[in-house]
Amino acid sequence: MEIQRLSEIHFQPLFEFEAQNLSWFEQYVPPRPESYKNFSTFSDACAVLIREQDTDLGYYFVGLLNEKIVLRANIFNIQEQTAEVGIESVPKRQEKGTQHRHYAR
């Protein structure tokens, strides 16, 4: 698996990843915001994440396997010595031991 920092080139494949795995994710995490249901508003939301990366407020990554997104990882709510970490993977990766959602402080 290759881990890449979120960039604009990932917006469309990440939108598809989110849509294809929506019911799986929502078994473990709160429902996605309405902005995730439309590519235009999803792209806007991702652009906000890019700005957060640029100012060190958060870091967002995608994991690719055979050039397809199979994992999303987020480091956010960064404080002086704490942060939250979220990892979301497709069900097939879940079976191989990847944690689906984990928070660490």
Amino acid 24: pLDDT? 81
Contacts 24+ apart (CB under 8 A), 46-52: 46/6, 46/8, 46/10, 46/11, 46/14, 47/8, 49/6, 50/6, 50/7, 50/8, 52/76
- Across the chain, mean pLDDT equals 84
The model's pTM: 0.80
85 neighbors 72 (Cβ within 8 angstroms):
no
The percent of residues in the chain predicted with pLDDT above 70, rounded, is 87
Count of CB atoms situated within 10 Å of the CB of 36: 17
pLDDT of 87: 83
Predicted local distance difference test score (pLDDT) of residue 95? 42
